[in-house]
Structure 1
Amino acid sequence: MSSFTKYCKIDSLELSAESVRDIQSINDKLELGDILATFAVAVPFVEIFSKKMKPHKRIETIAQYDWDVFADALLAVPTITRNRVNMIAESRAFETNGKERQFWSCVEKASR
């Protein structure tokens, strides 16, 4: 169960099959975002340390690496994931009613 289902807890909430499917889709997106962030962190280290080179050249390579682009890419992953979650939640909030709409509205607000 995702943290948003705990954060947006609504007593006696019964979710439709579509909502259950979309919660699984959100969980998949969150997991994929985690995997993407892990790989993004590994890229510069693989690029720098997988090549055979003299120590002074490696230090030079580290110094010349575009760490700003690396940081921007790494910081973009959670934003992209959050936007994907928000799109699903916004759609479900529009398509549902009652307690189910309350739940999706909460998820939508939490993912802004």
Structure 2
Amino acid sequence: MAQSAQRIFHDDRAEHRDHVHWRARAFGPDARPLSLTIVNLSPHGLMARCDTELAEGTRIRVTLPVVGVVVAEVRWSLGGRIGGRFGQGIDRASYYEMLAAILRP
């Protein structure tokens, strides 16, 4: 397998992700609402199911509990899922407070 093809399948992200199921209020670059269900989070990004096709590099706004609106850049999009990197990371204290609010029954 070519080295570039290996990179496609290799996930070298070291940061832990927390699995969640959170229907977030989100908006695309045209300010239209997006149907977004976050399935995992870290202080620096998210993975979500999204009904709208979003190109890599698209910036979306996502409303999260505790931290409010964050901007995420779509890093990849495949089969109704997207991976987004936050423009600015969430500090650990706020992240864990947000995570507790999301996971609260």
Range class of TM-score, shorter chain: under 0.3
Report the structure, 1 or 2, having the larger helix content.
Answer: 1
Q: What TM-score comes out, normalization by structure 2 length? A: 0.23
* TM-score, scaled relative to structure 1: 0.22
More strand by share: 2
- Relative contact order (C-alpha < 8 Å, sep 6+): which is higher? 1
